[in-house]
Amino acid sequence: MSSDKSAAAAATAVAVAVATLPSVDLCKGVNGLDKVVLREARGSSAEVYLYGGHVTSWKNDHGEELLFVSSKAIFKPPKAIRGGIPICFPQFSNVGTLEQHGFARNKIWTIDTDPPPLPTNPTSKAYVNLILKPSDEDLKIWPHRFEFRLRVALGPGGDLMLTSRIRNTDEKPFSFTFAYHTYFSVSDISEVRVEGLETLDYLDNLQNRERCTEQGDAITFEGEFDKIYLGTPTKIAIIDHEKKRTFVIRKDGLPDAVVWNPWDKKAKAMADFGDEEYKYMLCVESAAIEKSITLKPGEEWKGRQELSAVPSSYCSGQLDPEKVLQSC
């Protein structure tokens, strides 16, 4: 090979290597808000806004968007972004005196350049660490000093992992509730079923949080749905028949799971949500709600959610709920 040719081959090899390296970029998103873009070598990606520490995009290696974000989402503080993965902290919903779902989802987080190590090292380099500490204004409405560290990471196979660590840096204990309010993108809500929550107790948000027990088979959707399932397993599956895709949620430290779809009437009442968009989304939220988490001074809590999207055929026993969860 001539030296010209070998130099060109070497340059191409470097270009290919760089193009397939995982990467992390900080850039401007909607309305000039800062966002971090994570890209994995095989092509999957995710976007995280510093506003809210909010994941707004998760794409597989074919570039298909897996999260739902409303076409009417308002990317403007103090309104939380409608879709993606809002963080509900220190209060889920209106169970307390704070604003709905707490304040973390409408604060500007910062990039944490030197977080304490996690016991498991990330298997990929496509990750970002964010941190939220209360401002003087926050301390007026919730008088507790904390450090909330959020790591968002893309695994080599495109899995999306969120790890939250909340530390009490105050001199007195505090309690909180929490949720990863994940909006999944689905092809048609009427063709979707959720597995892993059958026969569990739940609090029905549409019936004054009355405690009931789920009957029958997998959960399907025919109208407004807003339930907090209690003591849920660490694995939950969302099966999208039309897309032939199964989302698998694995969670740790988060015993509850909220399932929400506003359906048509509530959709029309939300200014930042399209009238018909309820058909294309489903929220399944890994959460700690029924029993609030209490941290003494110096203590830390950890809550983790890992999402994967696999072809339904991959889950061999598709028609058998037990097998879907076993094989995915």
Candidates 59, 181, 243, 304: give the one binding ligand BG6 (CB under 6 A).
181
> Nearest approach, Cβ of 10 to ligand BG6 (angstroms)?
52
* 181 among known catalytic residues: yes
CA atoms within 13 A on the CB side of 112: 21
Only segment of 12-20, 29-37, 93-101, 237-245 that touches ligand BG6 (CB under 6 A): 93-101
Q: How many CB atoms lie within 10 A of CB 145?
A: 17
Number of residues that bind ligand BG6 (CB under 6 A): 10
> Nearest approach, Cβ of 22 to ligand BG6 (angstroms)?
32
101 or 243, CB closer to ligand BG6? Answer: 101
Identify the burial level of 323 via C-beta atoms within 10 angstroms of its C-beta, where 0-12 means exposed, 13-18 middle and 19 or more buried: middle
Q: Is 56 in the site for ligand BG6 (CB under 6 A)?
A: no
Pairing of strands 110-111, 127-132: antiparallel
Query: In whole angstroms, what is the distance from residue 105 CA to residue 79 CA?
Result: 9
* 241 among known catalytic residues: no
> Nearest approach, Cβ of 258 to ligand BG6 (angstroms)?
5
Which of 47, 181, 195, 277 does the annotation list as catalytic? 181
Q: Is 101 in the site for ligand BG6 (CB under 6 A)?
A: yes
Strand order in the sheet with 23-28: 23-28, 34-39, 45-49, 54-59
Least Cα distance to 218 among 314, 306, 322 occurs for 322
CA atoms within 13 A on the CB side of 11: 6
Q: Is 54 in the site for ligand BG6 (CB under 6 A)?
A: no
Q: Is 243 in the site for ligand BG6 (CB under 6 A)?
A: no
The catalytic site residues sit at: 181, 285
Residues that bind ligand BG6 (CB under 6 A): 80, 93, 100-101, 181, 205, 226, 258, 260, 285
